[in-house]
Amino acid sequence: MTQQVLVTGGSGFIGARCVLDLLAAGYAVRTTVRTPARAADVRAQLRVGGVEPGEELTFAVAELTSDDGWADAVAGCDFVLHVASPFPTAEPKDEDELIVPARDGALRVLTAARDAGVGRVVLTSSFAAIGYGHEPTDRPFTEEDWTELDSGVPISSYVKSKTIAERAAWDFIDREGGGLELSTINPVGVLGPLLGRDYSSSVRLVKTVADGRLPRVPRVSFGIVDVRDVATLHRLAMTHPDAAGERFLALSGDPISAQELALLIRGHLGPSGKRISTKLIPDWVLRTLAPFSRSVRNNVGDMGVVRRGTAEKARRILGWTPIPRDEAILATVDSLYALKPE
């Protein structure tokens, strides 16, 4: 009998890849969308990925901010991949705009899954819940680490939302999860080939650089992982017996600096890449802007900071082998030119 998987947020960058990966692996997939019209967007993305979905793909309408629809969404499902989560393009005026739907949405999904007798939920968390609020260190972060929200180090609303939501999910499992199992995936910046116009903020950064719209780049570094590998890791964590109760960092190789990213893309694009700047923004400029911009203020502490992590646990337990970092970056660039998203 074909197993049924619910994927929340199937129209999103990671969610659509998870749906594609599961269908290719032979699962029946139901995915949530905020409105029925979004079902067409999901189908269109799957066609870009080479799959023409049939009756093995179904849809349910549900939102993170409401209880409505979640019982129907999880009914009859063996597993749930909870991918949906708010991810803004700019720092919100009120951090609760991110924290509340991320936390309460996760709890709604977990409650519905428990009540429906789902076997395991895989929650898409983030490196944001692991590597922030710490003093600079050369030690690679692991799944044992948690972001420190009360350290006094400026932290963005997004980082807070992912940390609070994941902690709430583990607390729920400990207190009232019943027989429900939980695993979490904690990716760094997610890149890779686009399936449509809905993509991550990490892809938006690559597009900004590739379009030559940054006259200078900040002195920051970040980790990279391919969206195809993130989808595979969700599926492996969903079924592997040793994945229950575990967190898995998802990353490929060492972090890359914004300047290195610009150099890589410029070299890949050849003559059309000449418009890409590889010059650095002086740190003092960002410090001067910090009092006037919440977004700059929350990120100015990242200047010169390199947060390393390790995916050894995912490799060892799940046999996961990620695509090389630079390959993921260039695949992103190529798909941006192919799809021409806005």
User: Residue 34 corresponds to which amino acid?
Assistant: R
User: Residue 80 corresponds to which amino acid?
Assistant: V
* Contact by Cβ (8 Å): 86, 98: yes
Q: Where are the alpha helices (DSSP H) in 247-324?
A: 258-269, 283-289, 294-299, 312-318
Selection from 179, 193, 175 nearest residue 231 by Cα? 193
Residues serving a catalytic function are 162
Distance, in Å, from the CA atom of 267 to the CA atom of 331, rounded to the nearest integer, reads: 14
Domains of the chain are: 4-195+224-252+308-323 (3.40.50.720)
What are 109-146's pLDDT values in tens digits?
999 999 999 999 999 999 999 999 998 888 999 999 99
What pTM does this model have?
0.93
Q: What is the DSSP secondary structure assignment for residue 218, as one 8-state letter?
A: -
pLDDT for 153 equals 78
Distance, in Å, from the CA atom of 165 to the CA atom of 107, rounded to the nearest integer, reads: 8
For 21, 29, 80, the CA distances from 55, given in Å and listed in that order, are: 16, 9, 19
* Contact by Cβ (8 Å): 32, 69: yes
For 95, 171, 306, the CA distances from 164, given in Å and listed in that order, are: 12, 10, 23
* Contact by Cβ (8 Å): 87, 14: no
What are 28-70's pLDDT values in tens digits?
999 999 999 999 999 999 999 999 989 999 999 999 999 999 9
Q: How many helices (H) and strands (E) are present in the chain, helices listed first? A: 12, 11
**Six token digits for residue 93:** 């005026």
Categorize the per-residue pLDDT at 291 as very low, low, confident or very high, splitting at 50, 70 and 90. Answer: low
Q: What is the average pLDDT value for the chain, to the nearest integer?
A: 92
User: Residue 66 corresponds to which amino acid?
Assistant: S
**Bridge partners of residue 59, in order along the sequence:** 31
Selection from 162, 317, 155, 137 nearest residue 233 by Cα? 317
Whether the per-residue pLDDT at 286 is higher than 70: the answer is no
- Find where tokens 């963005």 sit: 156
pLDDT for 25 equals 96
Of residues 192 and 285, the one with the higher pLDDT is 192
